[in-house]
Structure 1
């Protein structure tokens, strides 16, 4: 008896932003291992990630783009379709963080984070969805955060942006589910990446974080791969507007 693997992404094309390192790289590789061709969007050199994709036997293209503004959004979609023949999956991963006390937080740090983490995520989703609506649907995965659920400290604009990602994910699911587009989010816990390097280097804060995580360790970018494959696949066809925490049990404490 022949069965179909609901997690198989063969024939699909995925765009992953912020794919040069960290979470973006981990998700891009996992999607390729599941069968998808990948468009890597990054401001910095993404050739190392591309080499890992090529090892899976999938096609890959690199799109150089600075996602500080919405200017590249339509170009990213057009480039992906031209090079890889379609667009079925978008992973809105690119993001930045600025740290300062709320009493002295600057407008510049507020605007920079909100523009990249929230504004660009929306307009790239919009550009992708306009194609998906006319081509049988697709999947959009936003990268949320523990600060989608919690307040944090000294990261006012990041917390606002990731709370916004949670609400935006639900809004887009409400509008696009009936159009065949699954919109969900992954909320990573404490993952060892460039964005968390300062926390890892602070011995007191690092100890406090590890004491709170039931799994007893920082997450690795590859730990998010299975969640991304699931939400991108037919196995999640009735999952809409959900924020999936991949956090080692952080929120359970």
Structure 2
């Protein structure tokens, strides 16, 4: 029996998009763990720019994942595949509102992921292998300048869950990793603004941006025997960014607009602090007027102790049930 945190003898991984920064870190870690790796880049120029250095057991091959025939032909060259990692992805800030660009982003990020999964299905079935798709925190936390990227990564998450259910009987596990803000070439321009860079870092629990190697560890774990009962899950590797309340960051992902008044709104955990939408809207208006932000428990206690008490007594069926129960006992 293999050690739970080690790869099997003869383990072979295919890393789609392995020429990129995150893909290169994943390919390197697999090689460090004793696996052989086939990594891809979109073309020869992409491979020439990669930070992935030649090493024993590593092969770099150009592959356009938007080409059905190329993907199918590439998959047929592999007799054994223990892990398929899909981390090829693109984005185009502010240009994704054009239909042509929107379609291209989806074709690479979402449809390309599906193409490779289908092409390697037979090989993965034979090896009882794993698929790890690289999603993004933007699958759930949207940004206004990259609608196609957000939509594609949301699709990757649901594709991961659907394939996990569909292929479980074949012994294929399908999971995803959702990175947060990671220092890669794709965000190099944004990181040149030191104020922006530090603002993002301060919003994480560790007060720093992530590194590609931070993602590689999670991917490797999802391909090990230790995770053999894990499928259909999405592992967030974002330094705690997604656990912070977006209500505290009204300018998240937005350009400042001169003269526009900021509005406070609640998302995620903050929105769940209220049992009913009306109470949530009233509290939002109340806190927006004061310009303050509170944790969910604090919001709930303030609301129940204040004007919301009368509303909750009338609207919350759980409280109504308690009142009826007390009246029957009297």
Do the two structures share a fold, i.e. TM-score over 0.5?
A: yes
The answer for the alignment partner of 1:213 in structure 2 is 204
How much is the aligned-residue C-alpha RMSD, in angstroms? 1.8
The answer for the alignment partner of 1:114 in structure 2 is 106
The answer for the alignment partner of 2:288 in structure 1 is none
Aligned partners of 2:231 and 2:183: how far apart in 1?
A: 28
In terms of mean alpha carbon deviation, does 184-193 or 203-212 score higher? Answer: 203-212
Mapping 1:33-48, distance limit 5 Å:
33-43=32-42, 44-45=46-47
Contact 2:65-2:116 at 8 Å conserved across structures: no
When residues 87 and 4 of structure 1 are mapped into structure 2, their CA distance, relative to the original with a 3 A threshold, is closer
The answer for the alignment partner of 2:214 in structure 1 is 223
Output one character per residue of 1:62-120: Cα deviation in whole Å (capped at 9) or x when no partner. 221123433321122123x1xxx511110000000011177xx1011101100000001
**Which of 172, 176, 185 does residue 167 from structure 2 map onto?**
176
Mapping 1:23-38, distance limit 5 Å:
23-38=22-37
**Which of 52, 64, 67 does residue 65 from structure 2 map onto?**
67
Ranges in structure 2 where 5+ consecutive residues have no aligned partner: 245-330
**Which of 152, 156, 160 does residue 143 from structure 2 map onto?**
152
SS at match of 1:183: strand
Deviation for aligned residue 1:34: 1.6
Whichever structure has more strand as a proportion of its residues is: 1
SS at match of 1:49: coil
Contact 1:70-1:119 at 8 Å conserved across structures: no
Aligned partners of 1:252 and 1:35: how far apart in 2?
A: 35
The answer for the alignment partner of 1:125 in structure 2 is 117
Deviation for aligned residue 1:233: 1.1
Between the two structures, name the one with larger relative contact order (CA 8 Å, sep ≥ 6).
Answer: 1
SS at match of 1:121: helix
The answer for the alignment partner of 1:243 in structure 2 is 234
Output one character per residue of 1:10-66: Cα deviation in whole Å (capped at 9) or x when no partner. 311100011113100011111111221100111212675252x42xxxx22222112
What TM-score comes out, normalization by structure 2 length? 0.69
Aligned partners of 1:21 and 1:92: how far apart in 2?
A: 11
What TM-score comes out, normalization by structure 1 length? 0.89
Bigger-Rg structure (1/2): 2
Aligned residues: 239
The answer for the alignment partner of 1:140 in structure 2 is 131
